[in-house]
Amino acid sequence: EAGVAQSPRYKIIEKRQSVAFWCNPISGHATLYWYQQILGQGPKLLIQFQNNGVVDDSQLPKDRFSAERLKGVDSTLKIQPAKLEDSAVYLCASSLDRQGFHEQYFGPGTRLTVT
Amino acid sequence: AQSVTQLGSHVSVSEGALVLLRCNYSSSVPPYLFWYVQYPNQGLQLLLKYTSAATLVKGINGFEAEFKKSETSFHLTKPSAHMSDAAEYFCAVSESLMNRDDKIIFGKGTRLHILP
C-alpha cells in the first residue's frame, strides 16, 4: 500500500512570511496527525483530526498556525507569520482509527528553516 | 498524564554487540507502549508495540522489548548490532482507555551509533 505522502520535503523562508505543508494519508485511515519535531527532540503533537473534524489542537499555536482536513482525506498545515522558533521538521501521520493501540504511519516530513 | 523518559541521548555499541536502549514510562492507567525508529531524513517507523498481551514483544529487524510493570520500564534490545541499525530511536506511551482519543507521547529519542 502507498505510504503517507508529504510535500514539500524542504522549505526555507524568512521570518514573518507564510508557508503551507500538504499531507496525503494512507487510504482508509480515519485519523490524521500533524507533529512538530525540533532538532534533538521527539515529535510533539500539534493537531489531530478524526475524519474531517478536529479532535485535539491543544498544542497548536492558534495565533499563527492553522490546519484543515477537507473531505476527511488530504490535510494542509499553514504557518502565518513564521517565527525563527518554527524551524523544525513537520511530520504528518495517519492511523486506522483514534484509539491509542493503533499504529501511526508517518510521512517523510517537511524540513522548515526560518531565517 | 503519561510521560516517557529515555535514558541516554546517545548510545554507542560495537558491531555484533548487544544493543540496549532504556525507556521508563509514567501512566495512571495500563499503557500502550511503542518503539519507533527514525532513519536520517525519513519519518518514524514502528519497530514494535505492547498492547497488554505478552510482556515480551518481538519486532522487526531482530529487536525486542520487555514490559516490566514493577519497574515501569520498556527497554529495547537486540542481541547483535548491525551497521544498518544506526538511527534515532523513540519510545512512546499512550493510555489504554477505550473509547477515548488517546494522545501518544514520545520520548526525546536515543541516537544509536554502531562502531565498526
Q: What is the reported pLDDT for B28? A: 78
- Pick from B112, B99, B113, B96: which is nearest to B34 by CA? B96
First and final C-alpha spacing in chain A: 37
Q: Is residue B99's pLDDT more than 80?
A: no
Region class of B72: left (phi > 0), else alpha (psi between -120 and 50), else beta = left
- Pick from B29, B42, B96: which is nearest to A111 by CA? B42
What DSSP string runs through A10-37?
A: EEEE-TT--EEEEEE--TT--EEEEEEE
Facing residue for B49 by CB, picked from A44, A55, A103: A103
| pLDDT digits 0-9 by tens, A61-83 | 999 999 999 888 999 999 999 99
Q: Is A48 on the interface with B (CB under 8 A)?
A: yes
Cell of B103: 494522545
Residues of B in contact with A105 (CB under 8 A): 46
**How many CB atoms are located within 10 Å of the residue A80 CB?**
13
Mean pLDDT of chain B: 91
Could you tell me the pLDDT band of residue B100, with boundaries at 50, 70 and 90? Answer: low
Cell of B81: 548490532
Contact A45, A77 (CB under 8 A): no
Report d(CA B102, CA B51) in Å as an integer.
13
Residue with cell 503551507: A20
What DSSP string runs through B5-52?
A: EEE-SEEEEETTSPEEEEEEEE-SSPEEEEEEEE-TTS-EEEEEEE-S
Q: What is the reported pLDDT for A71? A: 86
- Give me the residues paired with residue B93 across strands: B33, B105
- Pick from B65, B61, B66, B67: which is nearest to B80 by CA? B61
CB atoms A107 and B43 under 8 Å:
yes
Q: Is residue A46's pLDDT more than 70?
A: yes
Q: Is residue B98's pLDDT more than 60?
A: no
Facing residue for A41 by CB, picked from B34, B103, B108: B108
- Measured CA distances, B65 to B74, B79, B99 (Å): 6, 11, 27
Q: How many residue pairs bridge chain A and chain B with CB atoms within 8 Å of each other?
A: 68
Mean pLDDT of B95-111: 77
